[in-house]
């Protein structure tokens, strides 16, 4: 198996655990994945709510919370720890600055184009910058902007297909269109990145994400040119995942038909497991009276059917009358809760079996 190289970081198992907020991937899950040789990722979304005992100010609590999670992860893990920061968050700059100051190994950034991400680096910064995109065009825009403004290229690129969980960088009518499938867009992104690699003599690995669930999926993505993969959904049903047991059981109980596309207050389509809360939203029952967090730039409280931060926080706690679980298209395939070690071993075994039979 090839080592994934991101700048001076060597990833022995080229599997990245996707960042999942609110509270689903914190130091517990991230450190467990890092200890198995992959990249563990802490989600910065919602830390101000999770750490509101440290400060009543959401922004300040978010900064303190991220520092605390990185500290905990470092104490538990010897491996590589990243932070996921969504461009759509109002405290995007604070979370990026904190991650860099605390020497997080990598920042993964999507839910919008992180066009100014390199501007936060200091002369002594060691943090790698990895944008998350959904098209070759997005990669080109980011690379051109970063080079012209900051003389910097991404250290890697994550290309996320439409089968991912959570917020999706696609229009609703593109989600089932084969022209926008990961299998279709991954080679296009690899080709686009290769132009910048050649022009500037810098290696930029492309990481495939969105709907990858098995070792067989990983093998297919590598054959299409990916240097690594990112998985979120498969890691939710692990003992070390930071979500409540009730959240994990929502995945285990889910049938394929329970996983649906919803309209998020963020302004993007999202994939989630149906709940009584989602049904109430469809019936027009939920309506927030005020916005307690101002957490998302694109969220308009006067038009939002609910507060997404509270909905995701409630789900994290296991309260599905007042929230819902984001999930990838394969969430229904989970059958039991197992350790990260066992999950990684299964992925490796499935990958090797596929590789062996493909080469016979």
Same domain (yes/no): 293, 313: yes
Q: Is residue 252 part of a domain?
A: yes
Same domain (yes/no): 182, 271: no
Instruction: State the residue for tokens 């969220």.
Output: 299
Same domain (yes/no): 304, 316: yes
- The number of beta carbons lying within 10 Å of the beta carbon of residue 194 is 13
Q: Is residue 87 part of a domain?
A: yes
Same domain (yes/no): 166, 288: no
- Give pLDDT, residue 27: 98
Same domain (yes/no): 240, 253: no
User: pTM of the prediction?
Assistant: 0.95
Same domain (yes/no): 239, 251: no
Measured CA to CA in angstroms, residue 282 lies from 165, 176, 278, 279, 346 at distances of 20, 22, 6, 5, 38
Helix (H, G, I), strand (E, B) or coil at 198: helix
Q: Is residue 39 part of a domain?
A: yes
Same domain (yes/no): 282, 271: yes
Q: Give the range of the structural domain holding residue 319, as residue numbers without chain letter.
A: 245-331
Q: Is residue 336 part of a domain?
A: no
Distance CA(116)–CA(139), nearest Å, equals 14
Q: Report which of 42, 52, 49 is spatially closest to residue 86, judged by C-alpha positions.
A: 42
Distance CA(50)–CA(16), nearest Å, equals 24
Total of domains in the chain: 2
- Give pLDDT, residue 91: 93
Q: Is residue 311 part of a domain?
A: yes
Same domain (yes/no): 236, 279: no
- Give pLDDT, residue 268: 85
Per-residue pLDDT tens for 224-255? Answer: 999 999 999 999 999 999 999 999 999 999 99
Same domain (yes/no): 61, 82: yes
Q: Is residue 53 part of a domain?
A: yes
Same domain (yes/no): 87, 30: yes
CATH assignment at residue 124 = 3.20.20.70
Per-residue pLDDT tens for 76-134? Answer: 999 999 999 999 898 999 999 999 999 999 999 999 999 999 999 999 999 999 999 99
Same domain (yes/no): 108, 39: yes
Q: Is residue 283 part of a domain?
A: yes
Per-residue pLDDT tens for 130-179? Answer: 999 999 999 999 999 999 999 999 999 999 999 999 989 999 998 888 88
Same domain (yes/no): 48, 130: yes
């Amino acid at each position: 198996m090839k080592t994934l190289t991101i700048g001076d970081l060597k990833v022995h198992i080229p599997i990245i655990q996707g960042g999942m907020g609110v509270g689903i991937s914190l130091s517990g899950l991230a450190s467990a994945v890092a200890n198995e040789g992959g990249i563990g990722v802490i989600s910065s979304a919602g830390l101000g709510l999770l750490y509101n005992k440290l400060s009543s100010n959401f922004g300040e609590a978010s900064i303190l919370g991220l520092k605390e999670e990185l500290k905990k992860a470092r104490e538990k893990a010897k491996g590589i720890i990243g932070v996921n920061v969504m461009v759509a968050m109002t405290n995007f700059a604070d979370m990026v600055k904190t991650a860099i100051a605390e020497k997080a190994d990598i920042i993964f950034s999507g839910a919008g184009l992180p066009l100014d991400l390199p501007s936060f680096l200091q002369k002594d910064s060691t943090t790698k910058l990895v944008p998350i995109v959904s098209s070759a065009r997005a990669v080109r825009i980011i690379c051109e902007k970063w080079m012209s403004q900051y003389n910097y290229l991404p250290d890697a690129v994550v290309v996320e297909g439409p089968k991912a969980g959570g917020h999706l960088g696609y229009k609703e009518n593109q989600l089932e269109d084969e022209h926008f499938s990961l299998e279709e867009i991954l080679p296009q992104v690899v080709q686009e990145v290769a132009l910048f690699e050649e022009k500037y003599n810098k290696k930029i690995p492309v990481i495939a994400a969105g709907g990858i669930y098995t070792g067989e999926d990983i093998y297919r993505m590598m054959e299409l040119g990916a240097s690594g993969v990112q998985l979120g959904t498969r890691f939710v049903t692990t003992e070390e995942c930071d979500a409540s047991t009730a959240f994990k059981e929502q995945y285990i109980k889910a049938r394929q038909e329970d996983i649906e596309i919803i309209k998020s207050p963020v302004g993007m389509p999202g994939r989630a497991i149906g709940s009584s809360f989602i049904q109430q939203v469809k019936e027009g029952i939920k309506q927030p009276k005020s916005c307690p967090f101002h957490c998302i730039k694109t969220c308009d409280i006067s038009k939002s059917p609910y507060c997404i931060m509270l909905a995701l926080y409630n789900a994290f706690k296991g309260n599905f009358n007042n929230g819902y679980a984001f999930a990838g298209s394969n969430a229904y395939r989970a059958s039991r809760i197992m350790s990260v070690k066992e999950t990684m071993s299964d992925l490796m075994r499935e990958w090797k079996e596929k590789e062996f039979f493909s080469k016979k």
